[in-house]
Amino acid sequence: MRNHLERILYHESTILARLDEMAQEIARDYAGKDLAVVAVMNGSLMFLADLLRRIPLPLRFDCLAVASYHGGTRSSGRVDFLQNKLPDIDGRHVLVLDDILDSGITLDAVRRRLETERSPLSVRVCVLLRKRRPRESRVDADYVGFDIADEFVVGYGLDYRERYRNLPLIGVLGAEHIAG
């Protein structure tokens, strides 16, 4: 699978070192607060597991199954919530965790739904990657692992057609491996 990558952006050791730093920031900001982490699945699974183990705070976490790419390399513009029940976040500070901030459509939809259908004390966003590109929705991340160029990346939970998630690194997928 690595031979499908045009280049590697971040090796596992670099990712984990950055997660150590992010965990310290989050722990400082949420010390003494009732924290609930809501992860956007499936892409954030690796990020979720590795980051949460580094946060030395009592917290709750839950997952939301959401889809917006539908097999392509760009957001379809339509966000499908694949489950109807939202996590119990009433009266808690919420940190929404996602693998990547691209168009902003997914994170904006998740944030709006949590804020309108539940009663959180606050909602902030944490992403592993943030693409440097104009957003289609007005959303940004409060915690960012890495800023990257507007390229299609895989690995460390990020996929293309459900492949490459298990790579322990983040790399740019070669154009010849993307269906036209």
In a domain, 169, yes or no: no
pTM comes to 0.91
Query: Could you list the residue range(s) of the whole structural domain that residue 86 is in?
Result: 13-148
In a domain, 140, yes or no: yes
**Catalytic entry in 98, 102, 108, 159:** 102
In a domain, 116, yes or no: yes
In a domain, 167, yes or no: no
Give the model confidence (pLDDT) of 138-175 as tens digits.
899 999 999 999 999 999 999 999 999 999 999 999 99
Number of domains in the chain: 1
In a domain, 1, yes or no: no
Residue 177 CA to residue 174 CA, distance in Å, equals: 6
Residue 146 CA to residue 125 CA, distance in Å, equals: 14
Q: Tell me the angle at which helices 12-30 and 45-52 cross, rounded to the nearest 10 degrees.
A: 60
In a domain, 65, yes or no: yes
Question: What pLDDT shows up at residue 1?
Answer: 85
Place of tokens 């057609």: 161
Average pLDDT of every residue of the chain: 92
β-strand pairing of 35-41 with 59-67: parallel
CATH number at residue 118: 3.40.50.2020
Asked about 102 being catalytic, the answer comes back as: yes
